[in-house]
Amino acid sequence: MTAPDKRWSFFLFVSILLSPIFLPGLPIKNVQDVEAEICNNGEDDDGDGMIDLNDDDCICVIIEPESLVPNPSFEDMNCCPSNRSQLNCADVWIQASEPTTDYLHTCDWLGWENFPPPRPFPDGDGIMGFRDGRVLQSFPETNWKEYAGACLLGPLEANERYRFEFFVGFVDEISSPPINITFFGSTSCANLPFGVGNEDFGCPTNGPGWVRLGSSQVSTLGGSSWVKSAINVSPREDIHAIAIGPDCPATFSNQSTYYFFDNLVLADLRSFEFKIDEVEHPCSKDFTMEVPLEEGIEYQWYLEGIALPDERSHLLSKNYGEGTYQVRISNESGCNLTGTYTYEIPEFESFVDHAICEDDVYPFGPDFLEDSGDYMGQFLSRDQCDSVVYLSLEVIGEQESNMQAKIFEGETFEIGNYTFKNEGLHQAQLTSSLGCDSIVNVVLGFYELYFPNVFSPNGDKNNDTFSIYGNEDLKEIRNLTILDRWGTELFNGNDLMHNESDGWDGMRNGAPIRPGVYSYSVTVEMTDGISRQFFGDVLVIN
C-alpha cells in the first residue's frame, strides 16, 4: 500500500471515532441538554423533565416555622375518639384542667350534636374542643374553664421573642361569642395538670407555677367559621410547659359556650417574618398573597414549584387560582424559600333546624318554603365562600293543649291576657313563642281547706288538737301561730303535718289554757307552690 493510502485510512478511523452514533429509542441531545436549570423562567432548561423548584439544581433553604408545640394539629393519635373528654387519644397532649376538653377526629366522633364544628378543618382531620363557662340544669357555672396543655419540644428562652399562631373555631354567634384566647406558661412540666380535683379552680394562674404569657380577642367572621389569630410573647424566664384556653375572669352567660382549636404553631418570631400571608379573604375575587417587603431582596413567585416569570414583587399581582405557592428570596448572600402556602377556596357546611307556623313561609335562597321537610341549599357567605346549608323545616299548625289549675274561691287565675275566677272549663287562645296560634283548655277548680272553729283538748282523744285540714292539694302547713286576746303567743309550730296528731294541743308551757276564744294565723303551701296566709278564731271548750 502506498503512503497516501495509509494516511486516508488514519483519517477515516478518526472520523468514525468522532462521529455521533444513533441508536434506536434513545433521545437525541443537543447543546442545550447539558445546560444547568434556570430557576425562574418556567421552562425545563436542562431537559430532565423537572422545571424550576422541582429540579435539584434549584435548591434553596426553606424558611418555615417549626412549632415547639408537639402534635400542633392533633393529627398524631393513639386511639380514635368515640365520645367527649378523650384528649388522651391525641399524642402527647395533656388534659390540663379538671373540666375536660374534647378531642374531635373525622375517624369517628365529631363533637356535641348542639355544637357542630365548622368544616373543613384548617389542617388535617383532628381538632380540640373546649368551653368557657357552661350552664348545667339551668344553673350557670361561671368558673367552668377547660384547658389543654403540652410539654414543649424545646423551651421558650427568657427574653427571646416568639409568636404563637393558631386557629379558633366558632359554632355560631350565640354558642361561640367573642373570646379572649389566653396563653399560659410554666417553668416545669410537673405543673401539668393543675387544679386536680377542683372543677371550679379556673385558670392556671389561680395556683402556683404559672404565668400569663399573652392573649388575643377573637370573634367569628359570621356564623360557623375558623379564625386565625396570633399572640407575640417574650417570657421573663425559660418556659417548658404551656396551657391554652379561655381567660381568667368568670364568664356570665345564660347558656353553655363552645369553641375549637387547630394548627397551633409556636416558634421564634423571625421564622414567621418571611412567610406568605393572605391579602383579602380566600373566597374574595380580590384575593392575593404577599411576603414582607425588604430592601436589597429579589423576589420570585412559584406555583406548584414552577416560576411565574412576571411575579417578582413581594406582592402577587393577581389570583392565579388554587394550588401550592412559594416565594424565593434572593440577595448577594444567596437564596431562601418561604414555606409552602396551599391556596384552597374553602366551602362550608351548616345544619339548621327551624320551625314556622302554618300559613307562614320560610325564605331559603330564591325559594319560599311552606312544607315540612329536609332541604339543601348552596349560598354565598359574607366573604363570598360557597356555603352548603342543610335545613330541617317543621311547619307547626294550630296547637291545642289541656291544663288543670286550682285557686281559692275569690282569687283569679291568669294565663296570657285571660283572667278566670269561676270553676269550670275555660278556653284561652294564645300565641306560642314561635308566634303560632295555640288554644289552651283550662279546667279550673277551687282548693278546699277545713278551718275548725272549736276544739276540746280534754284528753278524750276526740277533737283534742287544733290544726288545718285539707286533701292532697295541701302540700304543707308552713306555720301555725296561736294568740290569746291580748296578743300573747301561746303556740308557734312550723312544717306541720295536716292531721290530728300534729297541731296545737291547747297547752301553754305544759299547762292547759282556759276555755275561751283564741286567734290563729296559718301559712299553708298548696300544690301550685304558692304560700298563702289565713287568719281566724277558734273556741276552746272542755
Assign 190 to helix, strand or coil. Answer: helix
**pTM across the whole model:** 0.53
- C-alpha cell, 56: 435539584
Just give the CATH number of 33-64+275-345: 2.60.40.2700
Identify the sign of the CA torsion 403, 406, 409, 414.
negative
CA distance 385 to 530: 55
Instruction: Give the mean model confidence (pLDDT) for residues 120-146.
Output: 92
CATH (residue range 87-270):
2.60.120.200
User: What is the residue-wise DSSP string for 62-98?
Assistant: EE----SSSSTTS--BSS---SSS-GGGBTT-EE-SS
Question: Rounded to whole angstroms, how far apart are CA atoms 196 and 149?
Answer: 14
The helix/strand/coil state of 245 is strand
**How would you classify residue 16: left for phi > 0, otherwise alpha for psi between -120 and 50, otherwise beta?**
alpha
128 falls in which pLDDT band (50, 70, 90)? very high
Q: How confident is the model at residue 463 (pLDDT cuts 50, 70, 90)?
A: confident
For the record, the C-alpha cell of 511 comes out as 299547762
pLDDT for 2 equals 42
Apex 35 CA angle, 32 and 40, nearest 5: 105
Measured distance CA(90)–CA(71) in Å, rounded: 8
Residue 500 has pLDDT above 80, yes or no: no
Q: Do domains 33-64+275-345 and 449-540 have the same CATH topology?
A: yes
- The CATH code belonging to domain 449-540 is 2.60.40
In our burial notation (b when 16+ CB lie closer than 10 A, e otherwise), range 58-82 reads bebeebbbebbbebbbbbebeeebe
- pLDDT surpassing 70 at residue 19: no
pLDDT, average across residues 182-209: 96
* pLDDT tier, 308 (very low <50, low <70, confident <90, very high otherwise): very high
CA separation for the pair 220, 226 (Å, rounded): 7
Domain extents in the chain:
33-64+275-345, 87-270, 347-396, 399-446, 449-540
Higher pLDDT, 432 or 164: 164
So what's the pLDDT on residue 7? 41
As a whole number, the mean pLDDT across the chain is 89
Residue 9 has pLDDT above 70, yes or no: no
Residue 102 to residue 146: CA distance in whole angstroms? 9
| pLDDT, tens only, 425-434 | 999 988 877 7
Averaged pLDDT, 39-43: 93
Task: Place 498 in a pLDDT band, splitting at 50, 70 and 90.
Answer: low
* pLDDT interval class at 499 (50, 70, 90): low
Is residue 27 scored above 50 in pLDDT? no
- Residue scoring higher pLDDT (55 or 32): 55
Cell numbers at residue 107, please? 375517624
- Using a 10 angstrom Cβ sphere, with 0-12 exposed, 13-18 middle and 19 or more buried, the burial of residue 451 is middle
User: Residue type for 204, please?
Assistant: P
